[in-house]
Structure 1
Amino acid sequence: MNAMENLEKQLICPICLEMFTKPVVILPCQHNLCRKCANDVFQASNPYLPTRGGSLTSGGRFRCPSCRHEVVLDRHGVYGLQRNLLVENIIDMFKQESTPERKEETPMCDVHEEEKINIYCVTHSVPTCSMCKVFGAHKDCEVAPLTSVYQTQKTELSDGIAMMVGNNDRMQGIISQLEEACRAIEVSVPLLQRLKFDQLYTILEEKKRDMSQKVTDEQEEKLNYIRGLTRKYGDHLEESCKIVETGIQTMEEPEMAVFLQVRVNRKIADASSISHLDKVERGYENMDHYSVNFKKEGKALRSIDFIQGDGTEIAMIAVSLLPARLLW
């Protein structure tokens, strides 16, 4: 492994910092460059030389990026440099060694170990072998060619993944709305608690505490409900993302029988539904139904409580998502 890593370091182009791409040219100083990188350095050093098709057509000079040795080229430009076939062959061998070919093996039947799985039992929705159909557990079942079922279910999986991605986007939007509702509820109580009663503050202080408690209780009730609902949507979204990831990985499975054994389409269909999750009614987060009625007489002040509706002397707490303001 260390030898392969050291070899890979020797095959890195000093210009693009990637493994040399063919053709590889060798400079007079014995250093190597990708031909494209050599041409880029050449053009940068000779900006006024004529070009044709993006390549220089006459002689010029540039310095080797590794040792700064001056390289003088003839009228063919970088195309006059000799190709380093040895380095190109080493790169080919390195890539073959570092990326071994994948061995694709057809699954064998569990019952008839020498038989390959080559048909699909429609009755039991499982891939099986011909012997199971003729003599085994699936002899009375309806079967179908593996290829047709593979194509059908792969198409269904692709459609299911697309639907799940769309559902996940919609759930993320719902979660964002729920979070906005939480923020709207959270700002309502501080606004109510900052009511200024001016010279009547002493009389109103006791009533203010009682009224604030009512708002706090409702706030906690709504927050607990929405936070719980947010967690449910979040858990459903997380599970859906995992299923999407599994589906994408399954899409890359080239073996038909292995693909059909995963049976991820059912999970996609089940996870696509969010009908079992509650939905918050429009305006549920509003807390602006609390208002107070001030009377000039002290006796009336001691009986202040929250009321519904408008009045000539009403202090309204108007709370919206953005912005939230205290209206007098």
Structure 2
Amino acid sequence: MACGTIENLSDGLSCPLCHHIFKDPVTLQSCGHNFCHTCLQRQQKSGVREGQDKTCPVCKKICPAHLCIPNITMSDLVGRIKENREDIRQMLKASQDFSDQLACSLCCERFRDPVSLQTCGHSFCHECLQKKARSTNQGGTLCPTCNQACPKKSYVHDHVLGSLVKRINRPGNRDQEQGREEGQEQKLVHECDKHKERISLFCLYDQTLCCLVCRDSFQHEQHKFLPLAEASDLIKVVVYVNVQKQLMLMNKVTNMSDDQEERMTEHKTNKVQVSEHITKEFEKLHKFLEDAKSDQLQQLDVTYDPLLKKMEENKETLRKKQKLLETNLEECQKKLVDSDIGALQDIREFLSQHCKTGQIEENLTVIKEKPETGLFKGPFQYYTWKRMLSVLQPAAAPLVLDPQTANWDVLLSKDLTSLSYRQNIFTLFSERRSLHFHVALTTECFSDGRHYFEVDVDGKKEWIVGLAKDTVERKRDAIIDDIYCSIFRNSHGELFISDSVVVSVACVTLKRVGMYLDYTGGQVSFYNAEKMTHLHSLSANFTGELCPYIGTSGLEEVPIKIVHLRL
């Protein structure tokens, strides 16, 4: 900006109630004072008793709250103050934009005694409005900008805008002005190290201090120069914008750090709950299972501790970045109050070190990883039975299939533990029979407790294993809406959960699938039963009875079989 520092702009655009830059500025019609819209409403609501007239917070002149108008010119100036600027060349253009905003649209010069129309909020010089505004049939005037009709003399003097113009129009040579105020005291003259001439210019291209001889040298050929006062204003605008940006970024980092703390607390709580669950399960196996319990607790630490450590490191990184932002903010604030020469000296290094936040913004994230509950909240006693052949709880359920629920085109074995595809096997009608899927439900259904069963899928190209509500629709494809299942399709090499979530593309080696139901806990988990490795888990609030079922495709006759485990 040609004259006037960024401090002066901020002071001129500050609300007298909150002392911050205006937000949605409005002008009181009775006195012309400006406030943030929200600040004015809050002040008049809290400071006036019922039945009393509302007054201006500055001059105490009576002014009802509804007699205030938006100040468009002030809103545009505030918007431009808050715009981000990346370098000095952009700020040079921005200074012209600020100057344009302080110009009357009628005389194209800076405002003189500015007034704002009450109906639309546009601002003009008082004299220009009286000379050039067009009259209406009712004796009023038309706004020269938007042509909106305004009652005669329906304008208000804008004190804040007038004060801001006075700040901008003050004498440009601030060194001389300061000298006059201090009684023409002797000032320190800075000389060019190369030419020993008085430094009076700033090169925008090299961002260095220069003398008149430097300006005419080959080193600065075709470079753009500014007087020190103007260059200082532009540099302080750059620093001011970066201060605002770093304040916003510091708030962001602080909030993310708090969020990370909450996530860590949640994971620590979950770890304690899972640890208690594991301990309770293994206590039932008595002394000879202590080694197995220790192995599972170690696996829990291996799973959670790296995640918690990663979260702790990320939290520490966020704290360091927050501290760096605080340091940069402190240095930038010092730069704002520095002298012209002090503000411009070593400016390249200063901007590079304190006014670039790109590296600080890198890798700003809150770690939200969460281990699968099925890794630890599963049939632990069954895991141990694989190695120790001891008592299990839950024991593998000895399920059998219900012929009345079997599809027309499936063949059940004599012991009712397996099925395979055969066309038109059943001829008797049954209300419980599934018509659209090659499946059969078991005779036993579950409405509480914990249960586990395994299904042999060795050699199968396509199969279905899952749970269905006892009230599931059997006559149409809507059965998918009321089931919890895993569907394997060898043609795609994919394992799906409820026909939607892809679990793995490497499941072609599955020979036996385990399914675990914790009805009370609302958990369904699937496992590779050969190695007891977790595949996937589902969570839901179960109601009514859940019936296990198995199914096949209509393209193969290889049977799928429920496994009856015996000790």
Band of TM-score, shorter chain: 0.5 to 0.7
Once residues 206 and 250 of structure 1 are traced to their aligned partners in structure 2, the CA distance between those partners, rounded to angstroms, is 65
- In the TM superposition, 1:229-248 aligns within 5 A as 229-248=314-333
Q: Distance in 2 between matches of 1:161 and 1:269?
A: 8
Q: Distance in 1 between matches of 2:263 and 2:332?
A: 33
Q: 2:517 aligns with which of 294, 311, 314?
A: 311
Asked if structure 1 preserves the Cα contact closer than 8 Å seen for 2:256 and 2:366, the reply is: no
Q: Distance in 1 between matches of 2:520 and 2:514?
A: 10
Cα-to-partner distance string for 1:40-96 (whole Å, 9 max, x where unaligned): xxxxxxxxxxxxxxxxxxxxxxxxxxxxxxxxxxxxxxxxxxxxxxxxxxxxxxxxx
Aligned residue number for residue 28 of structure 2 = none
Distance across 2 between alignment mates of 1:224 and 1:248: 36
Q: Is the CA contact (8 Å cut-off) linking 2:379 and 2:516 kept in structure 1?
A: no
Q: Does 1:186 align with 2:271?
A: no
Amino acid at match of 2:265: R
Counterpart contact for 1:292–1:314, Cα < 8 Å:
no
Query: What's 2:239 paired with?
Result: 157
Distance 1:309 1:123 in 2: 71
CA contact (8 A) 2:250 2:322 kept: yes
Shift of 1:157: 1.0
Query: Aligned with 1:110: secondary structure?
Result: coil
Shift of 1:171: 0.3
The residue type paired with residue 299 of structure 2 is K
Structure with more of its chain in helix, by fraction: 1
Task: Please say which structure displays the higher CA radius of gyration.
Answer: 2
Question: What RMSD, in angstroms, separates the aligned Cα atoms of the two structures?
Answer: 3.7
C-alpha distance after superposition, 1:16-37 (max 9, x if no partner) = xxxxxxxxxxxxxxxxxxxxxx
Deviation at 1:253, TM superposition (A): 0.8
Structure with greater strand percent:
2
1:110 aligns with 2:196: no
**Which amino acid in 2 is paired with 1:151?**
D
Residues 308, 149 of structure 1: alpha-carbon distance in 2 compared, 3 angstrom cutoff: farther
Per the alignment, residue 132 of structure 1 pairs with 214
For residues 120-269 of structure 1, what are the structure 2 equivalents within 5 Å?
A: 120-135=202-217, 137-195=219-277, 196-197=280-281, 199-202=284-287, 204-254=289-339, 256-263=340-347, 264-269=350-355
Counterparts in 2 of 1:132 and 1:253: CA distance versus 1, 3 Å: same
Report the Cα offset of residue 163 of structure 1: 1.2
Identity of aligned residues (%): 13
Provide structure 1 residue ranges, at least 5 long, that are not aligned to the other structure: 1-101, 318-328
Distance 1:199 1:285, change over 3 A: closer
Specify the SS of the correspondent of 1:111.
coil
Displacement of 1:120 in angstroms is 1.1
- SS of aligned partner of 1:291: coil
Q: Structure 1 202/104 Cα, relative in aligned 2: closer, same or farther at 3 Å?
A: farther
Cα drift, residue 313 of structure 1 = 6.5
Q: Hey, what does 1:279 align to over in structure 2? A: 365
What is the aligned partner in structure 2 of residue 41 from structure 1? none
**Correspondence for 1:71:** none
Q: Flag the 1:217–1:302 CA change in 2: closer, same or farther, 3 A.
A: farther
| Letter matched to residue 240 of structure 1 | L
CA distance in 2 between counterparts of 1:171 and 1:148 reads: 35
Equivalent residue pairs, number: 212
SS in 2 for 1:206: helix
> TM-score, normalization: structure 1?
0.54
Aligned twin of 2:494? none
Given that 1:188 and 1:287 are in contact with CA atoms closer than 8 Å, whether structure 2 keeps it comes out as no
In structure 2, the partner of 1:94 is none
Cα pair 1:168 1:241 within 8 Å, conserved: yes
Q: Deviations over 1:103-142 (max 9, x none)?
A: 86343211123x2221111221112111211247434533
| Cα distance in 2, alignment partners of residues 303 and 240 from structure 1 | 59
Q: Is the 8 A contact 1:291 1:308 kept in 2?
A: no
Which amino acid in the other structure matches residue 277 of structure 1?
Answer: N
Unaligned 5+ segments in structure 2 are 1-184, 397-451, 453-512, 524-567
Amino acid at match of 2:293: K
Structure 2 residue matching 1:311: 3-state secondary structure: strand
Higher mean alpha-carbon deviation, 162-171 vs 129-138, is at 129-138
Q: Which structure is higher in RCO with an 8 Å CA cutoff and minimum separation 6?
A: 1
Which of 262, 271, 293 aligns to 2:379? It is: 293
Query: 1:149/1:313 Cα in 2 relative to 1: closer, same or farther (>3 Å)?
Result: same
- After superposition, the Cα gap between the structure-2 partners of 1:220 and 1:310, relative to the gap in structure 1 and judged at 3 Å, is same
Contact 2:274–2:377 (CA under 8 A) maintained in structure 1: no
User: Taking structure 2 as the reference length, what is the TM-score of the superposition?
Assistant: 0.33
Note closer, same or farther for the CA distance 1:300–1:121 as it changes in structure 2 (3 Å cut): same
